[in-house]
Chains A and B, each alone.
Chain A
């Protein structure tokens, strides 16, 4: 027997095995759902179908954590994001450990070594080193400086998710002014993630209205709207942003700048939604069940709200989820280039401004960690969006 045939046999056996397991799992699912499937509304079907998408489920978990982190930033961050220790500028991250090499023993509770500042006699450069003689044990729910959760007066507390007693913990190092990078990233999530959500919310409203008008009424209106969309899409984004942010008065308060940035991003974002909505309207207009309702005497409103919108807003939501990353990236890019939000605002893009200088990056590579968060956030939105898109049409294989 040749190697090849043995290999093929093995492969077949493996395939048969996994195939059997797969069908068994499906049977179980059907068994569980039988008796429910007939009564399942479109949302239940979408949920079931989405739940079968393992990667999307995992991404949804990560996304939930990111959002919880953003919402409860004051609690999750061990320090005030604006508190700084000038002496400890660009101090490196402390590594959480369970094993102490000096003592040669394991601990059940993770700990970090405190960082001490030193001075290199030869180069005159400030250096930081771990002080191995002391351990700072990481504890959950420690008391720290007081804060007001989401700036709501009666939610005042000093309880933090984690921290150390008698010392400082800086899991992701300090920035160029000695502020705890992790705390800043946690707070940055607020702006960076909410820009995405608010941006798609605005895109959604504009997109559905414009796309709906375009697809439902057609004719000249349709042509005009389509040309506008093409024109907007043809504008290169960076120059457009630059032009728009030049128009942004320097004395504007933070909140107004924030909304302005969201608006800039939405101006581009709605075109994609409008395209999807228009296409769906066009194809649904000729769908038999819509025609049937029209012949039943349903009004335009009833056709749109009861027949057409429910048939495609799952697609639109999936599409919007896939649109979030470009919003987040847009905010990051704008702020990074100094065109969007500026310090003292904290967003992932603003944090990355610190990483603009090669010298800083060489000495303090941890300043790129906000980029990792951007990357992870974008991936999760993409995975979740993919799962939603596959689940958005629950009638394809039930």
Chain B
């Protein structure tokens, strides 16, 4: 939330995170290619804040999120997490048992609520599972009370808890998944495209719910992954734009929309579907040209140059650094050689 920014306390600090997937072939497991899914990514998330991670499919957003709970083992880098008492620990060097404990505090909401809920368990069993596994609750009565409370929190009728997931719509299922994530009282939620598998008509409900929960559960922090900017417009405090494993721009939401500094951000803004149909009629919709670069064989120089309308010679040869271009009050960074020259199109 904007108003506690001056008292900002980082909850997670990612430094130089890398995840390389090696593809191997044959019995001898010879490496035939390396996919740099996440390549030197750094950002900080403050307590109670929502940081959005936006980029097209295949940019490494999911991998970044999963590295943060060691669902994927990072290749390199540090992820500093400040414990309840304020002491930082490096998630990448935690023991197995410590990771287990960490995963009660950092929770994941999956993209597709149809595959993330076990169809063979009732809603009660699904939501109570993290509590039971981690022995956070004793007795069925207490568990049912807690599940009822969680269901009310995500605005579902607690009397439905003995039904199976197939009795629910996509939006309702995602609420169930959110309730499961909230069960052990987490501090940090990684929502990996929580609405992109849902019908447009119910997306707003789930987005509002997430916002509402953040108000209600003070200090709940979100890393909100999305592949289009319109979803995170009213959701996030800051936005990190990711392209082929790297962050190319990071700024406060308003600043990023009104005054993008990276051509990729501009393109994403132009391509974002307008949620308001009245405005949508007057706006011309731009479809992003070309495909995301292949992370197994990225282009030389700036990865975005083959699709960039402003590309010049230097873009083909030299990779731009992520530079700090903001003020101390409003820090922002961008990785483009011409960030200070181009005047790119944003929206109000």
- C-alpha gap A374/B134 in the complex (Å): 54
Are B166 and A395 closer than 8 Å at their CB atoms? yes
Which A-chain residue is minimally distant from B166 (CB atoms)?
A398
Taking the complex as formed, is A373 at the interface, i.e. its CB lies under 8 A from any CB of chain B? no
Segment with Cβ contacts to A, from B109-117, B207-215, B240-248, B292-300: B109-117
The A interface is mostly helix, strand or loop, or mixed, namely: helix
Segment with Cβ contacts to B, from A201-209, A271-279, A288-296, A357-365: A288-296
Taking the complex as formed, is A140 at the interface, i.e. its CB lies under 8 A from any CB of chain B? no
Query: When A289-B118, A307-B118 are in contact, do A297 and B71 touch as well, CB less than 8 Å?
Result: no
Taking the complex as formed, is B69 at the interface, i.e. its CB lies under 8 A from any CB of chain A? yes
- C-alpha gap A294/B177 in the complex (Å): 15
Interface bin, chain B: 20 to 34
Residues of A within 8 A of B164 (CB): 38-41
Taking the complex as formed, is A37 at the interface, i.e. its CB lies under 8 A from any CB of chain B? yes
Are A296 and B69 closer than 8 Å at their CB atoms? no
Query: When A297-B100, A298-B133, A302-B133 are in contact, do A292 and B116 touch as well, CB less than 8 Å?
Result: yes
Residues of B within 8 A of A42 (CB): 119-120
Taking the complex as formed, is A310 at the interface, i.e. its CB lies under 8 A from any CB of chain B? yes
Taking the complex as formed, is A326 at the interface, i.e. its CB lies under 8 A from any CB of chain B? no
Are B120 and A41 closer than 8 Å at their CB atoms? yes
Residues of B within 8 A of A226 (CB): none
Of residues 299 through 347 on chain B, the ones whose CB sits less than 8 Å from some CB of chain A are none
- C-alpha gap A311/B166 in the complex (Å): 15
Are B110 and A292 closer than 8 Å at their CB atoms? yes
Taking the complex as formed, is A230 at the interface, i.e. its CB lies under 8 A from any CB of chain B? no
What sequence of 0s and 1s flags, for each residue 276-320 of chain A, a beta carbon within 8 Å of any chain B beta carbon?
000000000001110111111110001000110011000000000
- C-alpha gap A295/B117 in the complex (Å): 13
- C-alpha gap A307/B163 in the complex (Å): 18
Among A37, A39, A40, A297, max chain B CB count under 10 A is at: A297
Are B133 and A295 closer than 8 Å at their CB atoms? no
Shortest A397–chain B CB gap in Å is: 10
Are B103 and A289 closer than 8 Å at their CB atoms? no
Are A297 and B120 closer than 8 Å at their CB atoms? no
Residues of B within 8 A of A288 (CB): 110-112, 115-116
Query: When A39-B162, A288-B112, A302-B133 are in contact, do A293 and B118 touch as well, CB less than 8 Å?
Result: yes
Are A289 and B115 closer than 8 Å at their CB atoms? yes
Taking the complex as formed, is B11 at the interface, i.e. its CB lies under 8 A from any CB of chain A? no
Total chain A interface residues with beta-carbon distance under 8 A = 25
Are A297 and B119 closer than 8 Å at their CB atoms? no
Taking the complex as formed, is B91 at the interface, i.e. its CB lies under 8 A from any CB of chain A? no
Residues of B within 8 A of A289 (CB): 115-119
Residues of A within 8 A of B104 (CB): 297
- C-alpha gap A302/B133 in the complex (Å): 9
Are B103 and A296 closer than 8 Å at their CB atoms? yes
Which B-chain residue is minimally distant from A311 (CB atoms)?
B120
- C-alpha gap A63/B108 in the complex (Å): 48
What sequence of 0s and 1s flags, for each residue 140-156 of chain B, a beta carbon within 8 Å of any chain A beta carbon?
00000000000000000
Shortest A218–chain B CB gap in Å is: 13
Are B118 and A296 closer than 8 Å at their CB atoms? no
Shortest A292–chain B CB gap in Å is: 6
Residues of B within 8 A of A298 (CB): 129, 133
Of residues 120 through 145 on chain B, the ones whose CB sits less than 8 Å from some CB of chain A are 120-121, 129-130, 133-134
Top-6 shortest CB links A-B? A38-B167, A288-B116, A38-B163, A296-B130, A288-B115, A289-B118
What are 11 A-B contacts defined by CB distance under 8 Å? A37-B166, A39-B164, A39-B167, A288-B110, A289-B117, A289-B118, A295-B107, A295-B108, A296-B130, A297-B133, A395-B119
